[in-house]
């Protein structure tokens, strides 16, 4: 089984691919890209050794099914996963969304950039949680 350092969770395939590519270009690998939050739980349950758990989960806020906030709350409510940094990565910049995520245990809240030129700042911030 490959051990992934980073999980990217976003139900928009274009957003998921753009972030994964930006992370790889920044030297952050290996990355597992997932479309839905329930896939995170399936993956994590299959990881036998705690040291093989990812160090970072980057999740979209507004997803079909389980939202990013619900994923965050569930992970922070399970002792085995509490140490994993969870960054919410969303198009929403509403103060309430940011506050709800940070008070629920998010390590960071990052608003998705409007253009590719914004990705270096995003990957620089995410690198802080990987290294």
pLDDT digits (tens, 9 = 90+) for 13-24: 999 999 999 999
Q: Is residue 83 part of a domain?
A: yes
What is the CB neighbour count within 10 angstroms for residue 45?
9
* Predicted TM-score of the model (pTM): 0.95
Q: Which domain holds residue 78?
A: 6-130
Q: Is residue 94 part of a domain?
A: yes
Q: How many domains does the chain have?
A: 1
Q: Is residue 46 part of a domain?
A: yes
Q: Is residue 110 part of a domain?
A: yes
- DSSP of 22-83: HHHHTT---EEEESSHHHHHHHHHH--SGGGS-SEEEE-SS-SSS-HHHHHHHHHTSGGGTT
Q: Is residue 48 part of a domain?
A: yes
Q: Is residue 125 part of a domain?
A: yes
Using DSSP, state whether 16 is helix, strand or coil.
Answer: helix
Q: Is residue 63 part of a domain?
A: yes
Element (H, E) at 91: none
| pLDDT tens digit sequence for 51-99 | 999 999 999 999 999 999 999 999 999 999 999 999 999 999 999 999 9
CATH number reported for the structural domain that contains residue 45 in this entry: 3.40.50.2300
Q: Is residue 1 part of a domain?
A: no
């Amino acid at each position: 089984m490959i051990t992934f350092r980073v999980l990217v969770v976003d139900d928009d395939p274009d957003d998921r691919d753009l972030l994964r590519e930006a992370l790889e270009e920044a030297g952050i690998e290996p990355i597992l890209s997932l479309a839905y939050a329930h896939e995170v739980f399936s993956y994590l349950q299959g990881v036998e050794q705690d040291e093989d758990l990812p160090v970072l989960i980057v999740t979209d806020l507004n997803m079909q099914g389980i939202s990013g906030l619900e994923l965050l709350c569930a992970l922070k409510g399970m002792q085995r996963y509490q140490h994993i940094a969870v960054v919410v990565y969303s198009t929403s910049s509403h103060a309430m969304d940011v506050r709800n995520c940070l008070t629920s245990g998010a390590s960071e809240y990052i608003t998705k950039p409007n253009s590719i030129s914004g990705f270096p700042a995003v990957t620089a911030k995410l690198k802080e949680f990987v290294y």
